[in-house]
Amino acid sequence: MVQIIGDAISGKEVRSLPQSLWRAEQIRALEREWAEREGLALYTLMERAGAALRTYATHHWPHSRCWWIFTGPGNNGGDGYVLARLARQLGLEPQVIALRDPTELTGDARRAADEWLATGGTVVAAEAGELGRLPAPDLVVDALLGTGVHTRLSPLMTKIVATINGLQVPVLSVDLPSGLNADTGCAMGAVVRASRTLTFIGIKQGMLTADGVDCVGHLDCDPLGVSVPPGWQAAAERIDYPSQYPRLTPRQRSSHKGSHGKVLLVGGNAGMQGAIVLAARACLRAGAGLVRVCQHPDQLPASLYQAELMGSQGGDEERWASVRVVGPGLGQDEWGRRHFESFVNEQVPLVLDADGLNWLAQCPRHQDNWVLTPHPGEAARLLGCTIAEIAADRFAAVQRLQQRFGGVVLLKGAGTLIHDGKGMALCDEGNPGMASGGMGDLLSGIIAALLAQGWSAAEATRLGAVIHGEAADLAAADGERGMLASDLLPFIRRLVNPDTITS
């Protein structure tokens, strides 16, 4: 069952979500396999879903009585009919507003509708214009479409979604906000903007990226008693700081600065020194032993901004560094091109970002020693497509990037995605305050520092992503708007030392 845990002091709700993320067809296959294994009808899950929704709604909106339950033509609508019947048993006033006449339904949805009607329940047609005659709702339940949406919504459905979004009351979406593609996270034209979503069996991967992050509201999951059999592979793994920080084990007491790597950062062309300095400072705060900056000779020494940073010594950087970062503030002029060609090779682990990625788009190659960290615009240039095509399926985009360029690829954005050639991870950390200059430079520095300290490329990228996002969440305590990249630096140090937080 979904875990609803109240903090007795602060009143803050704590959510416990599974790490596995699934595609819609995988969930349907899990349901069929469970029913066959248990010898039960799939209608059992519909009954359980309705009961879970009733418990969930009465917990979160205990004073609500008039529920408008919008039902669709499939099993999502069937869940809504079961909920209506169970809510009426509590003495509540559910009003079923149906997209399709109940007599036209089939399968389990028809059975659920018939049981609702048999108890004296009534149905209002969604397109009949009769909503104004109903008592005003204090809760809306979206049980319209669920996971089966793969094309743009019809004009009628678009109008219904607009009606739901225009009501000034809380909205509970059943399993998935209607209009959201469960696999890609894209809105299929219109989409319900839920206050809360209670999803069933497992989290659909599209709920935590792209448009999903704005539509689901507060997300909870109820497995309905369905367990995942051995051997089933999830589509992606949800990662966050709590799931990853156990990798950050304490250092050995005998360690010294040479034990934790030497990182060279290449960039900081004329007028863009801030990018390389931010990346270098994050690299120091994430624990790299020694950090050197190779920047345009017209720039002031980086040590003026952070005394612990070393400058370029001219010619010995390739032999000195155990890890490199190429790209922050690199520029796209001759100086940038020359340094890209000099420092991007297969000799040492490498993080490639910003203009490093733009140069890679012009000079494509496949290497397995690097971590690529594109935002959607850079990803589009690398793949020779549009940003809209990247946004249409971020999961497919990051997989294509990894296949074409090798190594580990991190696709930035709401619901950052990581693909290492073996599996997909989605970082469930961060906030809109990160939409400001310099944030990506910090991420490059953090990942490089973790590589320098001995984590593999896949581990360093996952750890770097969650540290970066969690640092932003901590910094956002003072507000998301106006948050600067440099505001994250003190929190990065705390987060790479979890023993100081948990002790």
Mean pLDDT, 10 residues at a time, over the chain (503 residues)?
30 67 97 96 98 98 98 97 98 96 97 97 88 93 93 95 96 98 97 98 98 97 95 97 95 87 96 97 97 94 92 71 97 96 93 98 97 98 98 98 98 97 97 97 98 98 98 97 98 93 57
**Cβ neighbours of residue 41 closer than 8 Å, sequence gap 6 or more:** 35
Token pair listed for 337: 């091109």
Does the pTM of the predicted model rise above 0.85?
A: yes
Count Cα atoms within 13 angstroms, Cβ side, for 167.
27
Burial 375-385 (b: 16+ CB within 10 A, else e): bbebbbbbbee
**Residue 142 annotated in ligand binding:** yes
**Residue 397 annotated in ligand binding:** no
**Residue 416 annotated in ligand binding:** yes
Fold of the CATH domain 20-237: Rossmann fold (3.40.50)
| Distance of alpha carbon 59 from alpha carbon 441, whole angstroms | 43
**Residue 75 annotated in ligand binding:** yes
Phi and psi of 249, rounded to 5°?
A: -75, 155
Phi and psi of 228, rounded to 5°?
A: -85, 120
H or E segment and range at residue 444 = helix 439-452
Residue in the structure block whose two tokens are 């549009």:
386
H or E segment and range at residue 310 = strand 310-311
H or E segment and range at residue 6 = strand 5-6
Do the beta carbons of residue 333 and residue 372 sit within 8 Å? no
Q: Is 8 helix (H, G, I), strand (E, B) or coil?
A: coil
**Residue 356 annotated in ligand binding:** no
pLDDT of 8 reads 26
Token pair listed for 132: 């104004």
**Residue 79 annotated in ligand binding:** yes
**Residue 375 annotated in ligand binding:** yes
**Residue 77 annotated in ligand binding:** yes
CA-to-CA separations, 180 to 71, 104, 387, in angstroms, rounded: 16, 24, 19
**Residue 428 annotated in ligand binding:** no
**Residue 78 annotated in ligand binding:** yes
DSSP line for 320-387: H-SEEEE-TT--SSHHHHHHHHHH-SSSS-EEE-THHHHHHHHS----SSEEE---HHHHHHHHTS-H
**Residue 353 annotated in ligand binding:** no
pLDDT of 2 reads 33
**Residue 150 annotated in ligand binding:** no
**Residue 314 annotated in ligand binding:** no
| Distance of alpha carbon 100 from alpha carbon 112, whole angstroms | 14
Residues paired with 143 in a beta bridge: 71
CA-to-CA separations, 367 to 347, 371, 372, 401, 407, in angstroms, rounded: 11, 9, 10, 12, 6
**Residue 329 annotated in ligand binding:** yes
| Distance of alpha carbon 127 from alpha carbon 125, whole angstroms | 6
**Residue 76 annotated in ligand binding:** yes
Class (C level, CATH) for 261-496: alpha beta
Do the beta carbons of residue 90 and residue 58 sit within 8 Å? yes
**Residue 355 annotated in ligand binding:** no
Phi and psi of 146, rounded to 5°?
A: 70, -140
DSSP line for 173-224: EESS-TTB-TTT--B-SS----SEEEEESSEEGGGGSTTHHHHS-EEEEE-T
Ordered by start, the domain boundaries in the chain are: 20-237, 261-496
